[in-house]
Chain A
Amino acid sequence: MDQHYNFAFLDERTKKRIRRALLKAVAVPGYQVPFGSREMPFAYGWGTGGVQITASIMGKNDVLKVIDQGSDDTTNAVNIRRFFARTTGVATTSKTREATLIQTRHRIPEVPLTEAQTLVYQVPMPEPLAKLEPRRQETIKMHALSEYGLMHVRLYEDIAQLGAISHAYDYPVMVNERYLMSPSPIPKFDIPKMHMNPALQLFGAGREKRLYAIPPYTPVRSLDFEDHPFEVQHWEHACALCGASESYLDEMIVDDAGSRLFVCSDSDYCEDRRDAGHVGTQQAVTLTPSPQEAA
């Protein structure tokens, strides 16, 4: 631990203010609470909102896990984990089950969370109505009066133009049947996991200076139409490494012929399964016949 910094980098008064804002956010699920976001030694877009929340709630006995796109080994995850290891000296892990505090970008772990865990999301744009209604004052009013018809206009437009609701990530949700909320850019595959989750879920947007929360066991519902119900993604293939058919899969093109390798996005989950003896096909699949074959 680097003694030149206060515990978890931020000064105590800042952390206290963020915790006060978090209390309000937990009391009003889905409501965006403004907070005095600080400059962090990261660029905006690297999770400054999530990092500030993590810093504010972290205790000496916490075990931290950081996820970026499901993986513990990507640049964002490695750097944030090292940042906290250096400024707090807390234990870090890549195992979902061992962690008490999980900061995440783009994914919710496949392993079900427990009441003892807290999930912190990094949010680029906290306002789900921003693209439809650019005026901040107007969106505040719409939240206050629960006027969310506009969001359905967007979904209608998707179906009219593309035949289906095209939001694959950042899919708008209703929290506790009251506030419309952006779930951060997680795939819509993960949204059912938010519903009645035993873990506390906190969301921080550093640039936009707002944070919000979903307390444990809070209903979260995806918006949809009666005749175009919400659906999560499905894959025709299983993970090539561990054979999992129920997890969120990344699709990688591995050669010039367009062969695709499907692997679990959650690296910890995949590793656990392989340790337990599950084996996938270990090979890429060819989805379409190559031009030569077709000819």
Chain B
Amino acid sequence: MKPSVLLSVREAGKAFVHQGQPRWACRDVSFDLYPGEVLAVVGESGSGKSTLLRLLAARLACDQGSVHYDLRAESENEACGLADLADLSEARLRWLARTDWGFVEQHARDGLRMNVSGGANVGERLMALGARHYGKLRSRAVSWMQRVELDTDRMDDLPATYSGGMQQRLQIARNLVTHPRLVFMDEPTTGLDVSVQARLLDLLRELVDELQLAAVVVTHDLAVARLLAQRMLVMKDGQVVEQGLTDRVLDDPQHPYTQLLVSSVLTP
């Protein structure tokens, strides 16, 4: 039996007005994402990857096309099944964003609450969902910090005192604590040094596998795509020029731009 689609994108696009003229940051993007599947979006800087990600996460509204998401029924009177994000109320979208979705920002500072401790950062989503037992919150935070290989002695320290790699891992723990089904990642390893990148990727791969997460990973690093993603989308100038299985795209690129991209990396 074919599993049901988790995220369905049809000809989605977003235009920004520039000097009175609409300029399409991305357009005509269509794909389906299934539960547990990881999709990488690659392309050069300015190709519309991040705009696409924000469309998918409903942080921006589509100017064209639509994004449908398979809603879980949270109560009896609410709609479930594939629904257009544009039709959902803001309350429902915010609820989705802090339960069923995760969003890992490129800069951990944007995704963390910097003025409260690491433990409080991990517990925030749980408290937003009504967890009111300090001891249980704390033990959940400890177990998640262990899972992302953070030193639990540091849980009462402010995230600003963490290293970049630790902040990124804290951000991941904070997002995964509610067991989301879909995680958006915006260049999660950029800005970290190579050895930290490798460990973080390793961790992400494990977590994705273990929790059966679906993920959309924006990256300009083909190695990240190769390691994490089953499928990939190649974007150029706001449009998808090629999409397919990661190994196929990287080993046998069809589009001239993809060929250029692959050949410009020493060991993809």
Binding site for B on A (CB under 8 A): 141, 145, 147, 149-150, 152-154, 156-157, 159-161, 224-228
* Contact status of A156 and B94, CB under 8 A, knowing A225-B133, A227-B134, A228-B134: no
Q: Is the interface of B mostly helix, strand, loop or mixed?
A: helix
Interface centre among A150, A225, A228 (most CB of B within 10 A): A225
Contact between A225 and B134, CB atoms less than 8 A apart = yes
* Contact status of A156 and B133, CB under 8 A, knowing A145-B94, A147-B94, A161-B117: no
In angstroms, how far is the closest chain A Cβ from the Cβ of B147?
A: 19
In angstroms, how far is the closest chain A Cβ from the Cβ of B122?
A: 10
Contact between A156 and B128, CB atoms less than 8 A apart = no
3 smallest CB-CB distances across A and B, nearest first, come from A149-B128, A152-B127, A225-B134
Residues of the B chain whose Cβ atoms lie less than 8 Å from the Cβ of A227: 133-135
Contact between B127 and A226, CB atoms less than 8 A apart = no
In angstroms, how far is the closest chain A Cβ from the Cβ of B173?
A: 15
Contact between A153 and B116, CB atoms less than 8 A apart = yes
Residues of the A chain whose Cβ atoms lie less than 8 Å from the Cβ of B155: 160
Contact between B94 and A153, CB atoms less than 8 A apart = no
- Chain B 121-136 interface 0/1 with A at a Cβ cutoff of 8 Å (1 = within): 0011101111011110
Contact of A157 among B91, B120, B130 (CB under 8 A): B120
Question: Is the C-beta of B156 less than 8 angstroms from some C-beta in chain A?
Answer: yes
Question: Is the C-beta of B119 less than 8 angstroms from some C-beta in chain A?
Answer: yes
CA A157 – CA B117 in complex, angstroms? Answer: 7
> Can you list 19 A-B pairs, Cβ within 8 angstroms, ordered by A?
A145-B91, A147-B94, A149-B127, A149-B129, A149-B130, A150-B127, A153-B123, A154-B116, A156-B120, A157-B116, A160-B119, A160-B120, A160-B138, A160-B155, A161-B156, A224-B132, A226-B134, A227-B134, A227-B135
In angstroms, how far is the closest chain B Cβ from the Cβ of A7?
A: 45
CA A159 – CA B127 in complex, angstroms? Answer: 14
* Contact status of A156 and B123, CB under 8 A, knowing A150-B128, A226-B133: yes
* Contact status of A150 and B124, CB under 8 A, knowing A225-B132, A227-B133, A227-B134: yes
* Contact status of A149 and B134, CB under 8 A, knowing A157-B116, A160-B119, A161-B156: no
In angstroms, how far is the closest chain B Cβ from the Cβ of A142?
A: 9
Question: Is the C-beta of B71 less than 8 angstroms from some C-beta in chain A?
Answer: no
CA A159 – CA B91 in complex, angstroms? Answer: 30
Chain B's closest residue to A133 (CB) is: B113
Contact of B132 among A141, A154, A226 (CB under 8 A): A226
In angstroms, how far is the closest chain A Cβ from the Cβ of B170?
A: 14
